[in-house]
Structure formats: C-alpha cells, structure tokens
C-alpha cells in the first residue's frame, strides 16, 4: 500500500469516460451519454465568462439603445424595419437597393472567419458561437442550482424525491426564462422596443411576435439546455467546414503527448527529472471539464470546439504537481510535430527523457507556442482582404448620395410615333429621398438635343426639366415621357437623366436610352 500525499495530488476522475471512446461497443443508434462538465477556473474560463458577458449584453441590450434621427425616422439605434423596408444601424440607414452593404458584411464575416480560423483555430466554435454561449450559460445555471459535477451525478442517479423535483423544476424554469428572454430580445430588433414591450405585456402585440418568442424559447431551451453538444456534433455543418480551414500553422487545443506519455498514476510518479513516465498523471480532469465530453488526449477530433477549458483544468493540475503548465496547450501542428520528432526520434515509443534536460527543464530545441506563428502570408492576405472590404464599404457609405434616381424604360412598346411624326418614349422614374428632410428637387434631361419631357404633371410643352418635392425617407414614382421631334434619329440614342437639389449640393444621374424606329435606307 502506497501512501498518497493528498495535498499535492489532484482529484482523480476514474469514472469519467469520453463519449467517443473506442473502448466501449456502441449500437448503431446510441442513447445520449450524459455529460456533467465540472467547474473549472483559469485564464480561458475567465475569458469565456468575458465573451459571454459581452455577447449576451450586446444581444439583450442593443434594441434598447436610442438614436435621434429626427421626426421622420425611428429613434432606435439598431432596427430592422421590415414593414417599411429600412435597416437602421446607428448612423447608417440602409435602403432595400443598398442591400449590397449586407452582402459586404457577409463577405467580411466569411473572410474574417478564414482569418480567425487560420490563426487561432476554431475560436468561433469555442467562444463566440451562440450555441456555445447559451450552452455555457445553461450549464452555469445548472451548476448554480444542482451543484458541481459530483453533486449533479448524484442527483441524476437519485430517486424522484420532492427535493429532486424541486431542484430540477427550478433549473428548467430558469432555462425556460432564459429562452423567453432570448426570444423576446429577438423581436425587439424588428420593432420599436419600448412600444413592443408594452404591447407584449398588455397582450396587444401582433400574433407573430408571440409566435416568434414561442419558437425561439423552444429552440433555445431545447438546443441550449437539452441537446447541448449534440447540436455541434450531429446537427451543425460547421465543424466539418471549419476543420478544413485549419493548416499546420493554426493554433489548436493540443495534448502534448511528447511530454505527457507514457501516462502514470500519480502514486507511481517519480520526481520530474529522470523519468520513466511522462507528465500526464491520467487524472482525467481534462475529460471531466469538457462540455463536449471528449478526451482531448485522443488527439484533434471533430467534437472539439477548442474552448480550452481542458487547458485550464490541466494547468491547475500541473500547478499542484509543481510542473510546468502547458501539457495541454494551444499549439500548432508544426511545433507539435517537431517536438514529437524529438520525443520519438527513430523509435515509435515516446521517451520522456529525450525532451528533458538534466535539471528537469525541457531539452533545447523543444518548441513552445509562439504567438508570432499567427503572422504569416496566409493570415496577412486574409487580413488585408478583410480590411480592404471594410475600408471600401466605409468609403462607399460616406460617399453615397442621399438622393437617388432609378429610370426604367418602357419595353412594350419601345417607342410610339405621335401624330406629328415625333417619337415618344415612356419611362417609369423613381426619385429617392434618403434624407430626413423634404427635398425640392429638379429632374432634367441632358443630351438628346431638342427632346422634351412630357407627362400629365408637365404643362409646359417645351420642358426639359421638372420640379418635384419628395417627402423625407420616401420614393416618389413618376410616369414621364420624352419626346423628340428630330428627324432621322438613330434607332438608339443615349442621354442622361439628372436629379439635383435646389442648391446643387446633391445630385444623382443615370444613363437612359431613347429608342426610335429604324431608318429606312
């Protein structure tokens, strides 16, 4: 019998088993293995709390931010006004025809994902994905109500006493509340939040609002509380896609088996120097804390969302044992392979002595995680592309005209001959006033000598321009004709329609075609 110094040794988790363990036979359709992630403390856990705080705050608070846009536009800072087809984002107002800004944002999101993934791996999955954030929140609630891992396992196995019913009911109740709040926050993005909130509580809100809340409550509760890691592993296509974006320079959560193997039970571990065994004491703390229920020591795997909680758990153990941190660490495949070559040399077995020097430190040549590895041509190109799109969008946003002109030429018929032999073309014209004030604008035609504007709103037969008033934030549709008395017109001539503000400060123009019959030779 060997006496173990419990003050120095970590708690062992022999009962822990990874969900994808190859040791146990599983049927074609397996029941879900229950996972009870253990609470962990450390740098990455604190970072995850921070990300959760920031992302959830943004999500829940954003619709309530006000932004003064004057009397003609809503005062909500972020509003997707589907009814009036306007998107408001702080000082930016997007009209339907400007949807390319949204496309630009999506391209930025895509390139940004390449950038982040190629440098720090699946950071999206591990920290920012809504599924990850809400699951983290739901697990925190579970921990708060039912206690940490062992208490939860015990409660799960316990018979259904009133106490258990109470605890479980409380947990599910809080989960459902979070779900309602999540669905509730969602609809505030699509309507004036204070008004809608009052309507919601007085049962005056449109049915679609309640319906949306109900659906999002159900999905949040089911995905975040009940299905958790199953969503990532079985429903989400992202692990497959994002895994393919990694390369040998990308940082991934790695079990450094070049220093960990062969594993040894704590009791059998001799002091670090001299070593027939590696640093891994097989305490399974890394498995116990994993919200995905995997064993990172089996290597990179699809289920791993790289949340790095196993790093925190392992580092705590290494601290207790007085060994260097980083047995599990963010590492690149390059560094890992180089270290493995040292540990293995020509052998198939890892020899801990090869990576250690006489004093117990690491041998020269052992590579550490180097944050400079993120700076390389691939990430630089991504970054340049990403920022170029962002700059281009900002420039386009700041230069975009506040008035717009769309002209649609009649195609049926292309032209009409009038009784005096002049040719008339019809146009559907839309003048956009994207400012928050009424605008006095002048529509005129440039080019096409001798041609005049005609239409029900024009009384002057020789008009080449038309004064109109366009209400703020609205489109003025006009039906106008252009008449040319010129003989021998080519079958197609181009001219320009221009709309200008009275002071000339704003203008928009568009090229327009004038069609005439083919000239007989």
Residues that bind another protein (CB under 8 A): 22, 25-32, 227, 230, 234, 410-413, 416-421, 424, 426, 454, 456, 479, 481
Q: What are phi and psi of 442, to 5 degrees?
A: -120, 125
Interhelix angle 43-61/309-321, rounded to 10 degrees, is 150
Give the shortest CB-336-to-another protein separation in angstroms. Answer: 20
- Judged by beta carbon, residue 361 or residue 413, the one nearer another protein is 413
- Judged by beta carbon, residue 397 or residue 468, the one nearer another protein is 468
- Judged by beta carbon, residue 342 or residue 482, the one nearer another protein is 482
Measure Cα distances from 396 to 98, 99, 400 in Å: 11, 13, 6
Give the shortest CB-431-to-another protein separation in angstroms. Answer: 16
- Judged by beta carbon, residue 198 or residue 418, the one nearer another protein is 418
- Judged by beta carbon, residue 28 or residue 505, the one nearer another protein is 28
- Judged by beta carbon, residue 163 or residue 418, the one nearer another protein is 418
Spell out where 388-491 has E strands.
403-409, 416-417, 423-433, 439-446, 452-454, 465-470, 474-484
Q: What is the DSSP string of 228-274?
A: THHIIIII-SHHHHHHTT--TTS-EEEE-HHHHPSP--GGG---TTT
Burial class (CB in 10 A: 0-12, 13-18, 19+), 371: exposed
Give the shortest CB-417-to-another protein separation in angstroms. Answer: 6
Q: What are phi and psi of 293, to 5 degrees?
A: 75, 20
Q: What is the CA radius of gyration of the chain?
A: 33
Give the shortest CB-420-to-another protein separation in angstroms. Answer: 7
- Judged by beta carbon, residue 333 or residue 416, the one nearer another protein is 416
- Judged by beta carbon, residue 148 or residue 471, the one nearer another protein is 471
266, 148 contact by CB (below 8 A): no
- Cβ neighbours of 190 (radius 10 Å): 17
Give the shortest CB-232-to-another protein separation in angstroms. Answer: 12
- Angstrom distance (rounded) from CA 76 to CA 165: 43
Residues listed for the chain: 521
Which H or E run includes 115?
helix 100-120
Give the shortest CB-282-to-another protein separation in angstroms. Answer: 19
81, 87 contact by CB (below 8 A): yes
306, 44 contact by CB (below 8 A): no
Pairing of strands 86-89, 92-94: antiparallel
283, 318 contact by CB (below 8 A): no
Give the shortest CB-234-to-another protein separation in angstroms. Answer: 6
Burial class (CB in 10 A: 0-12, 13-18, 19+), 8: exposed
- Judged by beta carbon, residue 40 or residue 466, the one nearer another protein is 466
Return the half-sphere exposure (C-beta side, CA atoms, 13 A cut-off) of residue 487: 2
- Judged by beta carbon, residue 385 or residue 438, the one nearer another protein is 438
Give the shortest CB-412-to-another protein separation in angstroms. Answer: 3
Give the shortest CB-33-to-another protein separation in angstroms. Answer: 9
Give the shortest CB-361-to-another protein separation in angstroms. Answer: 34
Which residue(s) pair with 493 in the sheet?
514
């Amino acid at each position: 019998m060997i006496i173990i110094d419990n003050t120095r040794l970590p708690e062992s988790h022999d009962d822990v088993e990874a969900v994808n363990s190859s040791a146990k036979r599983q049927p074609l359709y397996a029941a879900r293995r229950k996972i009870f992630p253990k609470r962990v403390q450390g740098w990455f856990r604190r970072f995850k709390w921070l990300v959760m705080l920031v992302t959830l705050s943004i999500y829940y608070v954003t619709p309530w931010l006000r932004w003064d846009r004057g009397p003609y536009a809503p005062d909500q800072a972020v509003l997707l006004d589907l009814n009036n087809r306007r998107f408001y984002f702080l000082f930016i107002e997007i009209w339907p025809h400007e949807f390319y800004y949204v496309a630009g944002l999506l391209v930025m999101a895509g390139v940004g994902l390449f950038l982040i993934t190629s440098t720090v791996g699946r950071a999206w999955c591990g920290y920012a994905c809504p599924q990850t954030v809400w699951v983290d929140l739901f697990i925190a609630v579970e921990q708060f109500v039912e206690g940490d891992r062992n208490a939860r396992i015990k409660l799960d196995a316990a018979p259904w006493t009133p106490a258990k019913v109470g605890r479980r009911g409380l947990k599910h109740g809080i989960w459902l509340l979070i779900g309602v709040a999540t669905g509730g926050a969602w609809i505030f993005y699509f309507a004036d939040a204070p008004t809608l909130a009052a309507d919601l509580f007085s049962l005056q809100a449109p049915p679609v609002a309640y319906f949306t809340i109900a659906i999002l409550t159900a999905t949040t509760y089911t995905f975040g509380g009940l299905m958790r890691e199953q969503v990532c592993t079985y429903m989400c296509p992202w692990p497959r896609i994002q895994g393919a974006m990694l390369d040998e320079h990308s940082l991934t959560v790695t079990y450094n088996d070049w220093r960990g193997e062969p594993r040894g039970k704590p009791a059998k571990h001799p002091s670090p120097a001299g070593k027939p065994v590696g640093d891994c004491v097989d305490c399974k703390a890394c498995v116990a804390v994993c919200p995905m229920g995997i064993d990172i020591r089996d290597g990179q795997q699809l289920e791993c969302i790289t949340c790095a909680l196993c790093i925190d758990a392992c580092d705590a153990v290494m601290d207790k044992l007085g060994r260097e941190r980083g047995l599990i660490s963010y590492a690149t495949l390059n560094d890992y392979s180089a270290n493995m070559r040292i540990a293995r040399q020509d052998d198939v077995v890892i020899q801990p002595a090869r990576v250690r020097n006489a004093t117990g430190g690491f041998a020269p040549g052992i590579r550490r995680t180097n944050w400079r590895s993120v700076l390389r041509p691939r990430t630089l190109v991504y970054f340049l592309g990403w920022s170029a799109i962002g700059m281009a969008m900002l420039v386009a946003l700041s230069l975009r005209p506040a008035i717009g002109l769309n002209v649609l030429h009649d195609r049926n018929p292309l032209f009409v001959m009038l009784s005096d032999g002049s040719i008339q073309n019809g146009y559907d014209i839309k003048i956009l006033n994207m400012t928050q004030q009424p605008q006095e604008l002048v529509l005129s035609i440039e080019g096409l000598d001798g041609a005049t504007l005609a239409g029900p709103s024009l009384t002057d037969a020789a008009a080449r321009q038309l004064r109109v008033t366009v209400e703020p934030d609205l489109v003025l549709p006009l039906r106008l004709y252009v008449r040319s008395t010129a003989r021998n017109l080519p079958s197609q001539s181009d001219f320009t329609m221009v709309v200008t503000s009275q002071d000339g400060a704003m203008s928009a123009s568009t090229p327009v075609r004038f069609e005439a019959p083919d000239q007989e030779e």
